[in-house]
Amino acid sequence: MPIGNPDRITVGIPLERTNGERRVALIPPDIKKLNAKVSFVVESGAGREAGFGDSTYVEAGARIATSREILDSSDVVVKVRPPRFDEMPPAGRTLISLRGPDPNVGELLRKRSIIHLALERMPRTTRAQAMDVLSSQASIAGYASVLEGARALGVLLPMLTTAAGTIKPARMIALGAGVAGLQAIATARRLGAVVHGFDVRAAAREPVESLGAKFIAVDADVGAGEGGGGYAREQSRDEQSRLRRALSAHLATMQLIITTAQIPGRPAPLLIDRETLGMMKPGSVIIDLAAETGGNCEVTQPDATITFNGVCVMGPTNLPSLMASDASRFFSANIRSLLAHLLEGSGRLNLDASDPISGALLAGQDVARASVAAA
Ligand code: NAD
């Protein structure tokens, strides 16, 4: 049964049930901006962990409902994480969420004829920038990674002079200077570390240096790092091995390493092997943000802390959830921009495979053109 105005679609926001997930896909200020065109139904408690209680959703014009009511009555379900089996919308409905690394999710959604707008597929274009959750959440992960690393280190990041003596600033490096890496560099600089950056893309040198960090140039005899669309190219095994050896002497001098190197759709490149770990000082810390795609460090395990040669290697896969309020704020602003683009003033959700944004999000699904109207 549709609820609200039958002339406009109903968007449902369920509580995230994935373990440890505290974010919510849409927050009250963004609902308020869209509720002239869309009816919203929000599961009780959906925003609580991110600091948005049920009453703030009601004030913004949403209706509070149970999980079952949301799945039954929403034309479009908007989530952060891909749905678990018991969170799947009914067949034929539309879902907007991350797809996550599990290939079974896509298969299950296809089998149930659910139209899925997978947020990972957002094009990296100027037009789509405001809708790009990977970028907004990577910024938060980069910031949070330095705080996690600083907590795990037995040394301070800044230089400190007291009557008891002077402490030298810690040495930090970000491997991979994309969105997360640059935010990690900026955060470590603010905390007073001596900061370095490295990336296979030569174009990354300028933003690293403009943040006041030192770009590490390595002579590894590997080809140009640039791939398509601003991303890095996947290196051959040989190139990766040469790069690891060239990097190891630099990494041995670092106390905090944040690794963020990724190749879209491919396993993460291996940048730190056991040999390099063996050269590092005990007590050093590695935060591996590529843990979900295999890790940049040989011993990384997703969401676990491994100690090797006294070096602590952590592989957190959901740091944005630790900063649930601001992470949700960004995520929600991205979703609001996406919904505004898809609604095009009509009260219907226009999905068009020839549109650069909805076409990319729908890729691989048999949807040439669809208009999601109120049921
Ligand atoms: P990403 O998460 O795919 O990868 C992170 C970083 O790892 C990248 O900088 C990549 O070059 C680097 N990397 C890959 N292999 C490596 C290796 N072997 N060694 C060291 N580093 C390696 O990338 P991202 O953070 O999403 O950003 C990639 C690029 O896209 C950046 O230039 C960013 O500014 C750009 N971008 C553009 C938009 C937009 O225009 N809308 C949005 C986001 C990002």
What tens-digit pLDDT sequence spans the chain (375 residues)?
Answer: 333 445 689 999 999 999 999 999 999 999 999 998 899 999 999 999 999 999 999 999 999 999 999 999 999 999 999 998 888 999 999 999 999 888 888 888 988 999 999 999 999 899 999 999 999 999 999 999 999 999 999 999 999 999 999 999 999 999 999 999 999 999 999 999 999 999 999 999 999 999 999 999 888 777 777 777 778 888 888 889 999 999 999 999 999 999 999 998 889 999 999 999 999 999 999 999 999 999 999 999 999 999 999 999 999 999 999 999 999 999 999 999 999 999 976 778 888 889 999 999 998 777 766 666 666
Point out the catalytic residue in the list 54, 112, 121, 129.
Answer: 129
For residues 304 and 297, is the Cβ–Cβ distance under 8 A? no
- DSSP H or E stretch at residue 150: helix 133-152
Closest ligand 1 atom number to CA of residue 261: 7
d(CA 313, CA 299): 7
C-alpha distances in Å from residue 86, one per residue of 48, 128, 255: 21, 31, 44
- For ligand 1, whether the C-beta of 264 sits within 6 Å is yes
Ligand 1 atom 25: residue of nearest CA: 178
Point out the catalytic residue in the list 124, 190, 205, 245.
Answer: 124
- For ligand 1, whether the C-beta of 178 sits within 6 Å is yes
Residue-wise pLDDT for 230-251, tens only, equals 788 888 888 899 999 999 999 9
Q: Are strands 165-167 and 369-372 parallel, antiparallel or unpaired?
A: unpaired
- For ligand 1, whether the C-beta of 208 sits within 6 Å is no
Point out the catalytic residue in the list 73, 74, 135, 358.
Answer: 135
- Identify any residues that bridge with 196 across adjacent strands, giving them in sequence order: 173, 214
Q: Which of 188, 174, 266 is closest to 227 using CA atoms?
A: 266
- In a 13 Å sphere around the CA of 32, the CA atoms on its Cβ side amount to 8
Known catalytic membership, residue 124? yes
- Phi-psi category of 120—alpha, beta or left, where left has phi over 0 and alpha has psi -120 to 50? alpha
- For ligand 1, whether the C-beta of 199 sits within 6 Å is yes
- For ligand 1, whether the C-beta of 124 sits within 6 Å is yes
The alpha helices in 153-204, defined as continuous H runs, are 179-190
d(CA 291, CA 365): 28
C-alpha distances in Å from residue 62, one per residue of 28, 44, 230, 264, 291: 8, 11, 39, 36, 37
CA of 183 to the centre of ligand 1 (A): 12
Q: Is the dihedral of CA 112, 115, 117, 123 positive or negative?
A: positive
- For ligand 1, whether the C-beta of 27 sits within 6 Å is no
**Mutation test residue for ligand 1: of 260, 288, 357, the one with most atoms within 8 Å of CB:** 260
d(CA 3, CA 9): 9
For residues 146 and 187, is the Cβ–Cβ distance under 8 A? yes
The pTM assigned to this predicted structure is 0.93
Ligand 1 atom 42: residue of nearest CA: 124
Q: What are phi and psi of 267, to 5 degrees?
A: -60, 150
Known catalytic membership, residue 231? yes
The residue assigned the tokens 């140009």 is 224
For residues 95 and 117, is the Cβ–Cβ distance under 8 A? yes
Known catalytic membership, residue 129? yes
